[in-house]
Amino acid sequence: MYFQPIEDPGSKLIAYLLGDPDVREAVVIDPPPRENELILALLSERKMRLRYVLRTHVHAHDGADCSALCGRASAQLVVAHSVVLTDGCPHIPLRVGEGSQLEFGNECIRVLSTPGHTPACVSYLWRDRLFCGDVFDAGDCPSGDAEVDGGLLFDSLMRSIFRLPEQTLVFPAHAIDGRHVATLAELRQHYGRMFNQSRDDFIADMLSRRSQRGQPRRSGQHQAPHRSY
Ligand SMILES: [Zn+2]
């Protein structure tokens, strides 16, 4: 199998290119538009066709601008059922939700519904690897607070994510406290205090963390560019 993370240095968004070299078919998860050339070059080098462009989530200000990549690679855009795309997106997406399955080459990806970071987030499970977008709500995603629902996030983590095997490898859309990959067991230990509290306490704790995270940014320190994902 072919597996290649691709991080956009500007937005800190991490895309994941998965490919089946035998059948020469690939998918990419959350591709940053500025990395299109690299993605196309990697595909071309390995003579692989891009079948799907998968999005874990789309922010309201974002618009899911994967048009160029979908168009150039003749790939199908995949988003969650209730994601709203901007009028400018010319592609009719394939809509997925809990239990959907996507095939590429001889591989299969299972879809988990994991809302909370935005109202319609999904995660993609491939073999022992989970591509969860920003469901941990702990990375550098510049999402506004208006889209986050702490209750939904708690439910997604407890009812979907943490029911997977502890050794599942978690690959986020933005690094989690500097980590680009961690096992579920490590994340459970890292965030143990948060997950061992009630839903209401989790929501209060999350809002407090978000406001603390936002303070240095408002005072003029480094901030990720306010753009997609
Ligand atoms: Zn996000």
Specify the DSSP class assigned to residue 117: S
Query: Which of residues 129 and 64 earns the better pLDDT score?
Result: 129
Contact (Cβ atoms closer than 8 angstroms) between residue 67 and residue 90: yes
CA atoms within 13 A on the CB side of 12: 20
Mean pLDDT across the stretch 166-189? 92
What average pLDDT does the chain have? Answer: 86
pLDDT in tens, 73-97: 999 999 999 888 876 667 789 999 9
Mean pLDDT across the stretch 30-56? 96
Ligand 1 centroid from CA 208, angstroms: 18
| Per-residue confidence (pLDDT) for residue 25, from 0 to 100 | 98
| Per-residue confidence (pLDDT) for residue 213, from 0 to 100 | 65
CA triplet 47, 53, 57: central angle to 5 degrees?
155
Q: Evaluate if residue 44 carries a pLDDT over 80.
A: yes
| Per-residue confidence (pLDDT) for residue 195, from 0 to 100 | 73
Residue 220's pLDDT band (cuts 50, 70, 90): very low
Ligand 1 centroid from CA 105, angstroms: 28
Q: Between 3.60.15.10, 3.30.540.10, 2.60.40.10, 3.90.550.10, what CATH number should domain 2-218 receive?
A: 3.60.15.10
Q: Evaluate if residue 22 carries a pLDDT over 50.
A: yes
Residue that is written with structure tokens 């940053």 in the block: 32
Ligand 1 centroid from CA 124, angstroms: 15
d(CA 184, CA 190): 10
Range among 77-91, 134-148, 178-192 rated most confident: 178-192
Tell me the H-state helices in 8-149. Answer: 36-45, 67-73
Ligand 1 centroid from CA 61, angstroms: 11
| Per-residue confidence (pLDDT) for residue 212, from 0 to 100 | 73
| Per-residue confidence (pLDDT) for residue 144, from 0 to 100 | 61
Mean pLDDT across the stretch 52-77? 86
* Strands annotated E in the chain: 2-7, 14-20, 25-29, 49-54, 76-80, 94-96, 101-104, 107-113, 122-126, 129-131, 169-171, 182-183
